[in-house]
Amino acid sequence: IKKIGVLTSGGDAPGMNAAVAGVIRAANAKGIEVYGIRDGYKGLINGWFEKVDIDFAQEILTRGGTRLGSARLPEFKEESVRQIGVDNLKKAGIEALVVCGGDGSYMGAQRLTEMGINCVGLPGTIDNDIVSSDYTIGFDTALNTIIEAIDRIRDTMQSHNRAAVVEVMGNHCGDLALYAGTTTGCEVISTSESKLTEEEICEQVKVLAKKGKRSVIVLVTENLYDSNALAKKVEEKSGYVTRATILGHTQRGGIPTGMDRYLAVTSAIYAVDQLAAGKGGVYVGLDGNKLVARDINSTLNMPRKDKSQELSTIRLLNSQFKK
């Protein structure tokens, strides 16, 4: 194998650049040329390829976002559209691809593999929602960003005897809320896997108000409630002045942490090994602190991660303030 491509796809995540840098370093060490593909699958069908070298790797390694760019291209689900990408790759002599992104991006990678271009996926998303990978590239950075934001919000809530509803990302995975809530002492945590009703949340905050608690933070995963409306209800029921803070895109950017950089670079090295061994249709994940490559197809029907320990943590944290 002489030439490979690398692209980032889906939502950006801190550490995607480190993953691309890792691909370049690993490939160059094996005498393989690397082509960066701009804007994910969109660049694939438009032929937006550029040769990337060790200096490019050094320049991007520590930066947030994705220097190659990312985009969503729903049309990529159509075989005729993917064929344009396959033809472009063949014309450029690119034999295989590393795709850094989420579940959807893996599906594209699987389809391309079926069409003759071996692809390996890297878990690039802040949501930590890749089935059977313990952690994803970007999760640790986003978690630390959220922790910093909640610590700041706590200062104001404590100063003014208030409550806050804080909404974080995670798509349908509650890990960002669980980890952030546990490490900042949020009084109420509601995630996709352990969802409280609005009434339960209000009741819990009311109990805390009665006990004279100086500040309260209710931490929720996105897509569960209208957080502004929830804050109003909490205020009505508890008497605390309550505002919602939706952290939004502040969670996605920023300089990747050491853990994210390490996971990105080591996963990338592992991915290049897979391609060099002629494998495709797999994605790299962490399993008990070891890198593994799993068939993309085999994980389609896999159950979500076992969350029983996490759920009991949330139940305990939520119950300790009850009457």
Cβ atoms of 10 and 66 closer than 8 Å: no
Residue 154 marked in a binding site: yes
**Which residues sit opposite 293 in a β-bridge?**
284
Q: Give 111 or 154: the residue with its C-beta nearer to ligand ATP.
A: 111
Rounded least distance, CB 214 to ligand ATP, Å: 38
For residue 131 the two structure tokens come to: 């089935």
Find out whether 12 is annotated in a ligand binding site: no
Indicate the SS3 state at residue 35.
Answer: strand
C-alpha 284/C-alpha 48 separation (Å) is 25
Q: Of 76, 134, 65, which is closest to residue 100 (Cα–Cα)?
A: 65
Residue 127 falls in the annotated catalytic set: yes
163-168 and 290-295: which strand pairing?
unpaired
The angle subtended at Cα 228 by Cα 225 and Cα 230, nearest 5°, is 55
Nearer to ligand ATP, 49 or 240 (CB): 49
By beta-carbon proximity to ligand ATP, the closer residue of 122 and 317 is 122
Distance between CA atoms of residues 260 and 263, nearest Å: 5
Nearer to ligand ATP, 95 or 103 (CB): 103
Pairing mode, strands 3-8 and 282-287 = unpaired
The site for ligand ATP (CB under 6 A) is made up of 9-11, 41, 72-74, 76-77, 101-105, 107-108, 111, 125, 127
**Is 132 annotated as ligand-binding?**
no
Taking the complex as a whole, the smallest distance from the CB of residue 21 to ligand ATP amounts, in Å, to 20
CB of 267 to ligand ATP, least distance (A): 15
Q: Is 213 one of the annotated binding-site residues?
A: yes
List the Cα angle 265/71/297 in 5-degree steps.
65
Check residue 169 and report its DSSP letter: -
* Least Cβ distance, residue 77 to ligand ATP (angstroms): 4
Check residue 124 and report its DSSP letter.
Answer: B
Residue of minimal CB distance from ligand ATP? 104
Nearest approach, Cβ of 59 to ligand ATP (angstroms)?
24
Smaller CB separation from ligand ATP, 126 or 165: 126
Residue 42 among known ligand-binding residues: no
- 254 is known to lie in a ligand binding site: no
- Active-site residue identified among 12, 53, 87, 127: 127
Q: Which class for 241: exposed (0-12), middle (13-18), buried (19 or more C-beta within 10 A)?
A: middle
Binding residues for ATP: 11, 72-73, 102-105
Binding residues for Mg(2+): 103
Binding residues: 11, 72-73, 102-105, 125-127, 154, 162, 169-171, 185-187, 211, 213-215, 222, 243, 249-252
Catalytically active residues are 127
